[in-house]
Amino acid sequence: MKKIVKALSILLTCLSLWDGYSQNVQKPNIIVILVDDMGYADVGFNGCKDIPTPNIDRIAKNGVKFTNGYVTYSVCGPSRAGLLTGRYPQRFGYERNPQYRPHDPNMGLPKEEKTLAEALKQVGYTSGIVGKWHQGADISNHPLNRGFNEFFGHLGGGHKYFPEDLTIKDSYAVDNDEGMSYKTWIMRNHEPIQTKKYLTDEFSDEAVRFVEKHQKNPFFLYLAYNAPHSPLQATQEYLDRFPNIEDKKRKTYAAMVSAVDDGVGKLLDKLEALNLDENTLIYFLSDNGGPVKSNVASNGSDNGVLREGKSSIYEGGFRVPFAMQWKGTVKPAVYDNPVSSLDIFATTAALSNIKINKYKPLDGVNLIPFLTGKNKSNPHETIYLRKFDEKGYSVRHKDLKLVLKRDAAPELYNLKEDIGEHNNMAKQNHKTVKKLEAIRKEWDSQLIEPIFGGLKISKESEIKEDKKY
Ligand code: CA
DSSP string, 328-382: TTS--EEE-S-EETHHHHHHHHHHHTPPPPTTS--S----HHHHTTS--S-S-SE
For range 399-404, the mean pLDDT: 98
- Whole-number pLDDT of residue 15: 46
- Name which of 128, 106, 105, 104 is nearest 115 in CA terms: 128
- pLDDT reading at 232 higher than 70: yes
- Give 468's pLDDT tier (boundaries 50, 70, 90): low
C-alpha distances out from residue 143 to 21, 297, 395, Å: 33, 27, 32
C-alpha distances out from residue 30 to 130, 279, 291, 369, Å: 14, 9, 28, 17
- Give 464's pLDDT tier (boundaries 50, 70, 90): very low
Beta bridge partners of 382: 397
- Give 454's pLDDT tier (boundaries 50, 70, 90): confident
Q: Quote the ligand 1 centre to 128 CA distance (angstroms).
A: 20
For range 237-244, the mean pLDDT: 98
- pLDDT reading at 444 higher than 80: yes
Q: Quote the ligand 1 centre to 124 CA distance (angstroms).
A: 30
Q: Quote the ligand 1 centre to 200 CA distance (angstroms).
A: 15
- Whole-number pLDDT of residue 209: 98
Is 48 designated active site? no
Residue 207 near residue 280, CB atoms below 8 Å: no
- pLDDT reading at 141 higher than 50: yes
d(C-alpha 275, C-alpha 215), whole Å: 9
- Whole-number pLDDT of residue 246: 97
Q: What is the Rg, in whole angstroms, of the alpha carbon atoms belonging to the chain? A: 22
Is 134 designated active site? yes
Residues 6+ apart with CB under 8 A from 8: none
- pLDDT reading at 21 higher than 60: no
Q: Quote the ligand 1 centre to 46 CA distance (angstroms).
A: 19
Beta bridge partners of 221: 31, 128
Digit-coded pLDDT (tens) for 173-189: 999 999 999 999 999 99
- C-alpha 289: how far from its chain's center? 11
d(C-alpha 278, C-alpha 292), whole Å: 37
Residue 38 near residue 301, CB atoms below 8 Å: yes
- Give 87's pLDDT tier (boundaries 50, 70, 90): very high
- Whole-number pLDDT of residue 295: 81
Q: Among 19-28, 389-398, 415-424, whose mean pLDDT is lowest?
A: 19-28
Digit-coded pLDDT (tens) for 207-227: 999 999 999 999 999 999 999
Count CB-CB contacts under 10 A for residue 363.
21
Digit-coded pLDDT (tens) for 368-385: 999 999 999 999 999 999
**Per annotation, catalytic residue among 76, 142, 214, 380:** 76
d(C-alpha 78, C-alpha 256), whole Å: 24
Sort 17 into a burial class: Cβ within 10 Å, 0-12 / 13-18 / 19+. exposed
Q: Quote the ligand 1 centre to 70 CA distance (angstroms).
A: 13
Q: Quote the ligand 1 centre to 37 CA distance (angstroms).
A: 4
Residue 69 near residue 319, CB atoms below 8 Å: yes
Q: Quote the ligand 1 centre to 73 CA distance (angstroms).
A: 10
Q: Quote the ligand 1 centre to 19 CA distance (angstroms).
A: 44
- Whole-number pLDDT of residue 24: 40
- Name which of 31, 79, 51, 466 is nearest 228 in CA terms: 51
Phi-psi region of 204 (alpha: psi -120 to 50; beta: other; left: phi over 0): alpha
- pLDDT reading at 314 higher than 80: yes
Q: Sign of the C-alpha dihedral, residues 42, 48, 51, 54?
A: positive
- Give 4's pLDDT tier (boundaries 50, 70, 90): low
Q: Which helix (H) or strand (E) holds 267?
A: helix 248-273
- Whole-number pLDDT of residue 469: 58
- Give the length of the chain: 469
- Contacts of 464-469 with C-beta under 8 Å, sequence gap 24+, read 464/296, 465/97, 466/75, 466/96, 466/97, 466/311, 466/389, 467/75, 467/291, 467/295, 467/296, 467/297, 467/310, 467/311, 468/296, 468/297, 469/75, 469/76, 469/77, 469/97, 469/157, 469/158, 469/178, 469/297
Residue 35 near residue 223, CB atoms below 8 Å: no
Give Dmax over CA atoms of the chain in angstroms. Answer: 88
Higher pLDDT, 22 or 332: 332
- Give 1's pLDDT tier (boundaries 50, 70, 90): low
- pLDDT reading at 459 higher than 80: no
Q: Quote the ligand 1 centre to 180 CA distance (angstroms).
A: 18
Residue 49 near residue 257, CB atoms below 8 Å: no
Higher pLDDT, 142 or 465: 142
- Give 453's pLDDT tier (boundaries 50, 70, 90): confident
- pLDDT reading at 107 higher than 90: yes
Count CB-CB contacts under 10 A for residue 237.
13
Q: Are strands 191-193 and 69-70 parallel, antiparallel or unpaired?
A: unpaired
pTM for the complete prediction?
0.93
Secondary structure of residue 124 in the 3-state scheme = coil
Mean pLDDT value across the chain? 93
Digit-coded pLDDT (tens) for 269-308: 999 999 999 999 999 999 999 998 888 789 999 999 999 9
Residue 224 near residue 131, CB atoms below 8 Å: yes
Digit-coded pLDDT (tens) for 385-400: 999 999 999 999 999 9
- Residues with CB under 5 Å of ion ligand 1 are 36-37, 76, 287-288
- Whole-number pLDDT of residue 23: 41
DSSP state of 271: H
- pLDDT reading at 316 higher than 70: yes
**Per annotation, catalytic residue among 48, 134, 142, 397:** 134
Q: Quote the ligand 1 centre to 311 CA distance (angstroms).
A: 9
Cis peptide before 228 (omega within 30 of 0): yes
Q: Quote the ligand 1 centre to 343 CA distance (angstroms).
A: 19
Q: Quote the ligand 1 centre to 66 CA distance (angstroms).
A: 19
Q: Quote the ligand 1 centre to 469 CA distance (angstroms).
A: 7
